[in-house]
Structure 1
């Protein structure tokens, strides 16, 4: 492609990096996605973004789908392309966003894995054997008590927590949106135990609520590995990851309250449709109870009399 076209991509990525302050992961994804579009243009003799038409975008996405790229990845690629072309429209470099009406292949939505209430109690009531396990239990309690994402938990500072009022301020939610969520009694007790030990681990200038044995803010990967270690220690057969605790929180709250809007606010979802997946989980649970208990829904073995 023409050098001007490549320069426009670089300008767009700079806006994401310095003005919108997107995460390094998002920046890398957008860079790869636009590189794929650029490669398509070069193969088809398209030298500038002004030459693109909707048929080009559809053909590009279709060819990526034929190459085995999944629907979720294609949705992200389309999002990157739309954002970039919107940038060019706003800068008056092109007249229209030709990707606006292009749709990606539909994907079947998988229901998230979660733990039932008894399994969660088993996970949270394991006895810590050392100080770092006391920290770990505080993290597991907070995940389940407040429905936090992994990135949100590791980003917490001590000043974000108010144990007296039983709340925590999530400053760095998805899309840089903040929210205040409740912290339950068991989580407050577990966190208080960790706060009594934290001064012996945290560096003097460290603000993070949860720190590693080196005294710095704990890393996401460390949290994942510690949860896997805790699962093995307790002998739980199911693989447990941090997001499973968030899913369990959402499903259990919805099952008890039926208040989808409240769950949306607690999770920090921008769209209610994202939260609605938990209604499917709730129905799945009800359907299982129905199949097991309704007299005319129970499965009968061959030759069993009709009751």
Structure 2
């Protein structure tokens, strides 16, 4: 069963020009399916039925995959079978009518403003930490995705105008403002970068060997920063992006502006942050309104007021 799968991955890479990351994702999901099918005694993609794929979805669910991950698997299988149909290696697409289990809407994690300020105000201990702080300041200042910060070049930043040119999903460019603290962190990093990067290297953030930092390295350095500086939750790139969006919305209430800053094509994607904002307001209400607090808290407040009188 492996040869059609290998041909399909080459088709994605050479004909469709998908990124290596996307091709790896398709290959990983389809190999997982082929291994399971082989264990069930199947040796031919032509003989796979809808019933087989429904059983496979049930297996994925029992193994703990959420609805989003299962939907991604099914998307890969559907596309693979479209390719097999084109190559006359299948007579139908058994994945067409298979749906992933419904998933609950999970709200993104958000860091507290005071905690982020504490972490970003920490003093770097070495040149690589100066680089890390510059990266993290930019990510929180401008709401960057992991791929966006990894793809930044030295020429992406206009330090005089305080602007940043970013290439987002689908190759779409957007121009973003950069905060004062992020610009200061960049000013500290650039002289150190000059001592690490060869002249031909365009990347803004480079490793100690002078090459562009990988996605994995950025994730690892952010997690390490959080542990070293005393964060009370695990730091990851999306946490900084989500925190940026939520804090901007709390302060401005301008959903359209936050949509533009994040580079969301659909405002419905941005609307998840209105739920986060409401949760924040609800907590403030519960803690502050005398008719919303629990009876014990209200009695304690009443006793305190009497003593003060």
Q: TM-score with structure 1 length normalisation?
A: 0.83
Q: Is 1:261 the equivalent of 2:248?
A: no
Matched-pair contact (CA < 8 Å) for 1:46–1:52: no
**In structure 1, distance between residues paired with 2:218 and 2:36:** 40
Distance in 2 (alpha carbons) for counterparts of 1:64 and 1:300? 46
RMSD value, Cα: 3.0
Query: In the alignment, what sits opposite 2:146?
Result: 150
Structure 1: runs of 5 or more not aligned: none
Which residue of 2 is the match for residue 13 of structure 1? 9
Secondary structure of the residue that 2:295 maps to in structure 1? coil
- Segment drifting more, 288-297 vs 258-267: 258-267
Rounded Cα–Cα distance in structure 2 between residues aligned with 1:154 and 1:96: 41
Alpha-carbon distance between aligned partners in 2 of 1:7 and 1:272, rounded to the nearest angstrom: 42
Q: 1:230 and 2:246 equivalent? A: no
1:210 aligns with 2:205: yes
1:244-283 equivalences under 5 Å are: 244-283=239-278
CA distance in 2, matches of 1:46, 1:130: 56
Match of 2:234 in 1: 239
Distance 1:40 1:240, change over 3 A: closer
Tell me the equivalent position of 1:60: 56
The residue aligned with 1:298 is 293
Distance 1:31-1:232 versus aligned 2 partners, 3 A rule = closer
Q: 1:32 and 1:238, CA in 2 relative to 1: closer, same or farther beyond 3 A?
A: closer
- The list of structure 1 runs, each at least 4 consecutive aligned residues, that deviate by more than 6 angstroms after superposition, is none
Contact 2:119 2:230 survives alignment (8 Å): no
Q: Give the deviation of 1:41 after TM superposition.
A: 5.4
Distance 1:26 1:115 in 2: 30
Mapped to 1, the partners of 2:185 and 2:275 lie a distance apart of 32
Task: Judge conservation of contact 2:164–2:175 (CA < 8 Å) in 1.
Answer: yes
Q: TM-score normalised to the size of structure 2?
A: 0.83
How many residue pairs match? The answer is 301
For the 8 Å contact 1:290–1:297, the answer to whether it is kept is yes
Following the alignment from structure 1 to structure 2, what is the Cα–Cα distance between the partners of residues 305 and 159? 59
CA distance in 1, matches of 2:193, 2:35: 51
Contact 1:13 1:31 in 2 (8 A): yes
Runs of 5+ unmatched residues, structure 2: 303-309
Cα distance between partner residues in 1 of 2:254 and 2:85: 41
